[in-house]
Amino acid sequence: MSIFPSMPSARMRIWLACLLLACILTPQLQASTTSKYQYPDTYVLQTSPINRQATSSLLLDLIRVGSRLLALGQGGHILYSDDQGQSWQQAQVPTTSLLTSITFSDARTGWAVGHQGLILTTQDAGASWQIAYRHAEYLAQAAQIHLPALRTQVDQLSQAVQNAPAHQRADMEAELEQARWDLEDARFLYQPEALPPLLDIHFSSAQEGWAVGAYNTLIHTQDGGQTWQPISQRIPNPDGMHLYAVTHLKDALFIAGEGGFLAYSTDQGQHWSTLDSPYQGSWFHIQADPQQGHLYLLGLRGHAFVSQDQGHSWQSLFTSDTQTTPKVSFNALRILADGALVLWGQAGEYWYQPHNQAPWQAYQAPQGTSLMTGLALNHNTLLAVGQGGLHKIKHPQVVTPSTPSPSTQEP
Amino acid sequence: MHLSDSISASESWFENILFKHRPFWLFILTFISLMLAAQAIQIRPQASFEKLIPLQHPYIENLMQHKDDLQGLGNSLRIVLSIKDQNKDIFDADYLEHLRQLQDEIIFLAATDPAQVKSLWSPSVRWTEVTEEGFAGGSLIPNTYDASLASLQQVRENILKSGQVGILVANDFRSALIQAPLLPVELDYQALGEQLELLRDKYSNQTYQVHIIGFAKLVGDLIEGATQVGTFFIVAFIITGLLLYAYSRCIRSALIPLFCSFVAVIWQLGLLHLLGFGLDPYSMLVPFLVFAIGVSHGVQMVNAMVIEASHGASTLQAARQAFRSLYLAGMLALISDAIGFMTLFFIEIQVIKELALAASLGVAIIIISNLIMLPLIMSYAGIGKKSCLHAQRQRQIHSPTWQLLAQASHAKIAPISLALALLIGIMGLYGSSFLKIGDLDKGAPELRPHSVYNLDNAYITDKYATSADIMVVMVKSAPQACVTYPVLAGIEALQAAMQNVPSVQSSVSPVNIAKRVISGFNEGNLKWQALSSNQFILNNAMSQLPTGMMNNQCDLLPVILYLQDHKAQTLTQVTQAVEAFANQYPSDEVEFLLAAGSAGIEAATNAEIEHAQSFMLIFVYIVVSLLVWFSFRDWRAVICIILPLGLTSVLCQALMAALGIGVKVATLPVIALGVGIGVDYGIYIYARLIQYQKEGESLTQAYYHTLRSTGKAVSFTGFTLALGVFTWIFSPIKFQADMGILLTFMFLWNMLGALWLLPAFAHYLLTDKIQGSTH
């Protein structure tokens, strides 16, 4: 399903051929290329306007930090509540793009990622946010470094082809063709319109942070978010699958993504290897349970697995003796304070397991809209986010609000 | 004085031509009447959408320019089949079968576009699901549907997956909707309305109920309701006849004005049809007015004849005398009526213009029918003896009522009257400050709140997600650029801004669909539900738009705003919010044009009406004042006649505010009609008053005589006019009822103003001393 892989590949070639054709056939692209260095920013890098309906607009993530609840989503909305979800304030945010994930590295320092390759940070527990990283800047710099070199290579090769003797010409033309493709790939990769949406952010320690995104994007900080570096090329992901989620368990880092993509690193992200995936459909979330030493992996069409051996083998959460198996896609798994698990799914479906070994129970949120994630609000209420914003759900069983702690606050 | 001078001066040639060749003229008039009657019976009720809207307003110009591109948002019907039993839902074999049959019948209606009709049974309405391989999907009711419980369960699941809840299926699953866009051709709304009513009868029973809404149905109901008004005409006709008889005590003098006024109506309808007009629910008022005005002038003529005859003149002589004394004053009054109506021509709304035309035509015809034809007929028919005796008897009896009213010009009463009038006027001004522009009721304001249509509308807006009050912002870009990021980002920002406008419930645009498609292409993950700045992703997403959301040139996208109601205040709030956004938006590549949709059109209509209201009021007063001045060549006449009218206008506005009637297409003409017709009373009374005064009588004496001679006719006129429109209060059409209430009020109060306030003004302006010094 990936549309723009970052590494050259056969799949990409076909895409690019189509795109070039589209370039010729669609006149509007000509217009858009003339102003390409301004326009995404013009519209995206504005202060998110106060929106009266922010609590009922699309929200994608929800966490608890200390006594504060934070949710984020559409239009650059970041909402916070200090009274257990009774009332919400809209934070000051310097973008209007869709925000996808939020985490905190300490009680006051928070991080959020979103579309247009943005990483945001807060120093005041979420009331106001600043831009910490713009992938657009990286692309512009990279284009300045790489494109001239590639162009020179193409020029030199085409010179060489003309001067080459006849018997070498075929080989050299193939080489030239390759160089041209490389140039096109790079051009495409570095154009500012092709900014990848960032889809998840996770801090494995106060210093080490990881943001993943579409088209195999991985961005890393080693200094607590002072500087961020794209390190996508370290991941063995030739088809450029989207990376949907990143987490850590003990010393290992895990990334889950599109088309059953699953990778891990045991050396703080220097080297990455793929893992055998129990399913070839997309994973939307990977979640560690440090207390049990479990890893949970979930995604498309009711697929959810657990690993007790650092991701080497996986068992389905829904064993055959379970009466029904889920059909909806799962977006997140949350571990409640009492060890109960909640799987948040599409179409308002959520699955609840009161404790390990107990059978899973399926519930339907009354609104029926897709739920991205949620947490326990008080003893019989869950608070979820998704389509239609915040949803308070009366749960028939007693649930225990997760105790806040900065290191595990972001499942 | 000018008027009385001209009456005596111009008696000869015109009167001679008429009365010397009576059979010839009557033959000509009969011939024309028969010709026009043949035309009149062909006249049909009609209603046209474009005639109701101000075509010159920039919003409507934008709309008309892009009309073809907005067809998907155009004229369509929504038909709902609901289940009465609270415990049942639509997942029932019998229900689905009924729905299918109803849908098939709707597809076969001549007016509907068969390819576009949508319901649960349409193959084009699909559910989709993301699988590892891509999308899976199918029609809501699968081919394998066999009415079994299992397949009903399948239908339920498909509907939940399709996202049609609130669109084609009610939120409570107890009804389903059939969406039927109509063909973009000239429609016979009346026939369509009848066909739909047949379907309603056929499918409504103990179990099910049919609800139908849509502009076409509304127009059908309007025409249907307006036709019922025809029966009111018969009622008005009979009551007027009885009143005439009570007034004259003579069958002949009752029937002839009635007949002549009826002929005027026939001429008016015949001429309208000849000119190519039909009768819309607004101009349907005009025949009533023409009839009433005709009767009132006929009464003046008969009254004059009775007086002549009771003085012993022969029938022909009485008719000639009556004609001679009245035709100029009558003509003047009728011409001022017509010119008053003409001021409506300045309102750029076609129905109002047509109403002005029909009304002007009608009063012009009364000059022929009741000022010329009536005395001609009366010259043969004559006045009954009873009538003469009655008149003689009346003259001899001293009238305490008139005596009392004559005191209005008295030195002690006049200041009290004027102070009281001033007080009422101030109260009226205060009351009229609450007057609102536009329609104030929910649903279709044209109909009564408890009409079937409005109940259906309330049901559907309650059970389905979308409001019936829609404003469409047309987002314009360069050709082929509608799918570019700046345009789509602009739409997204507009929609976000609209979320802050309290009266906007929700909004839908191609951007919502594009974002859903982008998310869909990424396995339905909501983290992708955003616009991409990548053109290829946008091209891909926008290629999935349903028809009607994007035009062929790709330079126009609609943003549909669903509003909580259509009060003028709401509409202004929304249009101002959109305009403020458009001014601030930082892109030259995109333009936000207002406005299509029912609410957009209403916003434009309100703006036009607000603009026209004061202009028209000032204009009609200037015109009427000038006419009065030309008639009497005296500024005092203008004050005596016009100021009482002004009080009526103010009070009428206060009444509208009190009754919750807004200024709208239907009520705006009422003000001009009220002033135009109201001036008649003043003219008749003032003319007589100064005549008696000139003969040397004191003001109070002169006024007493005026009342004795024309006061009765004037009050009779007031009641006839009021009666003619009073029956309208029972119209099933709300705006006709509003017109009826307001016109009745204005006719009665104008009469009162003329009888009570005119002499009070006269006390200060036409004092005997000044009178003596000027003459």
Per-residue pLDDT at B149 exceeds 80: yes
Whether residue B339 lies within 8 A of chain A, CB to CB, comes out as no
- Does A40 contact B485 at a Cβ distance shorter than 8 Å? yes
Q: Which of A4, A19, A49 sits opposite B496 (nearest CB)?
A: A49
- Torsions phi, psi of B209, nearest 5? -140, 145
As a whole number, mean pLDDT of residues A316-327 equals: 75
Best-predicted range by mean pLDDT (A69-73, B405-409, B545-549): A69-73
Three-state SS at A401: coil
Alpha carbon of A167: minimum distance to chain B alpha carbons (Å): 41
Sequence letter at residue B653: Q
Alpha carbon of A98: minimum distance to chain B alpha carbons (Å): 6
Angle among Cα A156, A162, A165 to the nearest 5 degrees reads 115
Q: Which of A51, A74, A300 sits opposite B132 (nearest CB)?
A: A300
- Does A193 contact B478 at a Cβ distance shorter than 8 Å? no
- Does A197 contact B532 at a Cβ distance shorter than 8 Å? yes
Domains of chain A: which residue ranges?
Answer: 45-164
Return the pLDDT at B724. Answer: 78
Return the pLDDT at B71. Answer: 59
B134 strand-pairing partners: B131
Where does B398-433+634-775 sit in CATH, by number?
A: 1.20.1640.10
- Does A52 contact B524 at a Cβ distance shorter than 8 Å? no
Per-residue pLDDT at A205 exceeds 60: yes
Return the pLDDT at A26. Answer: 39
**What gap in Å lies between CA B558 and CA B499, rounded to an integer?**
17
Comparison of pLDDT for B128 and A340, the residue scoring more? A340
As a whole number, mean pLDDT of residues B250-271 equals: 90
**What gap in Å lies between CA B739 and CA B327, rounded to an integer?**
30
Closest CA to A247 of A127, A333, A327: A333
* A278-310 pLDDT tens trace: 988 899 999 999 888 899 999 988 899 999 998
Q: Collect all residues with Cβ–Cβ distance below 8 Å to A280 and sequence separation of at least 6.
A: A259, A260, B132
As a whole number, mean pLDDT of residues B197-203 equals: 92
Which two three-digit tokens encode residue B760? 């009070």
What DSSP string describes B53-71? Answer: SBTTSHHHHHHHHTGGGGG
Q: B1-42+249-397 belongs to which homologous superfamily?
A: Multidrug efflux transporter AcrB transmembrane domain (1.20.1640.10)
Per-residue pLDDT at B392 exceeds 90: no
Comparison of pLDDT for B442 and A264, the residue scoring more? A264
Sequence letter at residue B189: Y
* Chain B interface disruption, residue of A3, A23, A28, most B CBs within 10 A: A28
Return the pLDDT at A248. Answer: 92
- Does B521 contact A51 at a Cβ distance shorter than 8 Å? no
Contact A295, A310 (CB under 8 A): yes
**What single DSSP character describes residue A45?**
S
Q: Which of B499, B532, B536 sits opposite A22 (nearest CB)?
A: B536
* B98-130 pLDDT tens trace: 999 999 999 988 888 888 788 888 887 777 766
Burial class (CB in 10 A: 0-12, 13-18, 19+), B392: middle
Return the pLDDT at B7. Answer: 44
**What gap in Å lies between CA B340 and CA B180, rounded to an integer?**
44
Packing angle of the helix pair B285-310, B385-396 (nearest 10 deg): 80
* B629-687 pLDDT tens trace: 888 888 888 888 889 888 998 999 999 999 888 888 888 888 778 887 788 788 878 88
Under the banding of pLDDT at 50, 70 and 90, the label for residue B731 is confident
- Does A3 contact B524 at a Cβ distance shorter than 8 Å? no
Query: Chain A neighbours among B 515-544 (CB < 8 Å)?
Result: 521-530, 532-537, 539
Question: For B503, which residue in chain A has the nearest alpha carbon?
Answer: A52
Alpha carbon of B598: minimum distance to chain A alpha carbons (Å): 25
Under the banding of pLDDT at 50, 70 and 90, the label for residue B197 is very high
Which two three-digit tokens encode residue B333? 């009054």
- Does B533 contact A195 at a Cβ distance shorter than 8 Å? yes
- Does A115 contact B586 at a Cβ distance shorter than 8 Å? no
**What gap in Å lies between CA A171 and CA A180, rounded to an integer?**
14
As a whole number, mean pLDDT of residues A36-46 equals: 63
Q: Which of B524, B528, B586 sits opposite A197 (nearest CB)?
A: B528
Per-residue pLDDT at A10 exceeds 70: no
Per-residue pLDDT at B403 exceeds 80: no
- Does B527 contact A100 at a Cβ distance shorter than 8 Å? yes
* Residues of A in Cβ contact (< 8 Å) with B484: 28, 31-32
Low-confidence winner among A314-323, B317-326, B725-734 (lowest mean pLDDT): A314-323
Under the banding of pLDDT at 50, 70 and 90, the label for residue B11 is low
* Chain A interface disruption, residue of B132, B527, B537, most A CBs within 10 A: B527
Per-residue pLDDT at A320 exceeds 70: no
The string over A93-125, giving b where at least 16 C-beta atoms fall within 10 Å of a residue's C-beta and e elsewhere, is bbbbbbbbbbbbbeeebbbbbbbbbbbbbbeeb
Per-residue pLDDT at B296 exceeds 80: yes
User: Per the confidence metrics, is the pTM higher than 0.80?
Assistant: no
Whether residue B132 lies within 8 A of chain A, CB to CB, comes out as yes
Under the banding of pLDDT at 50, 70 and 90, the label for residue A16 is very low
* Residues of B in Cβ contact (< 8 Å) with A368: 160, 165
The share of chain B scoring above pLDDT 70, in percent, equals: 93
Per-residue pLDDT at A261 exceeds 80: yes
Q: How far is CA B217 from CA B47, B81, B417, in A?
A: 12, 16, 51
**What gap in Å lies between CA A84 and CA A309, rounded to an integer?**
37
- Does B130 contact A1 at a Cβ distance shorter than 8 Å? no
Sequence letter at residue B89: D
Whether residue B207 lies within 8 A of chain A, CB to CB, comes out as no
Return the pLDDT at B539. Answer: 84
- Name the residue with tokens 């869709």: A98
Residue range(s) in chain B whose domain bears CATH number 1.20.1640.10: 1-42+249-397, 398-433+634-775
Mean pLDDT of all residues belonging to chain B: 83
Whether residue B587 lies within 8 A of chain A, CB to CB, comes out as yes
As a whole number, mean pLDDT of residues A34-57 equals: 72
Whether residue B171 lies within 8 A of chain A, CB to CB, comes out as no
Closest CA to A304 of A337, A339, A329: A329
**What gap in Å lies between CA A317 and CA A325, rounded to an integer?**
10
* A77-116 pLDDT tens trace: 999 999 988 999 999 999 999 999 999 999 899 999 999 8
The string over B414-436, giving b where at least 16 C-beta atoms fall within 10 Å of a residue's C-beta and e elsewhere, is beebbeebeeebeebeebbeebb
Closest CA to B664 of B339, B349, B227: B349
Angle among Cα A24, A29, A34 to the nearest 5 degrees reads 120
* Residues of A in Cβ contact (< 8 Å) with B586: 42-43
**What gap in Å lies between CA B649 and CA B644, rounded to an integer?**
9
Sequence letter at residue B617: L
**What gap in Å lies between CA B517 and CA A322, rounded to an integer?**
34
Best-predicted range by mean pLDDT (A353-357, B176-180, B262-266): B262-266
Return the pLDDT at A28. Answer: 38
Alpha carbon of B534: minimum distance to chain A alpha carbons (Å): 5
- Does B496 contact A194 at a Cβ distance shorter than 8 Å? no
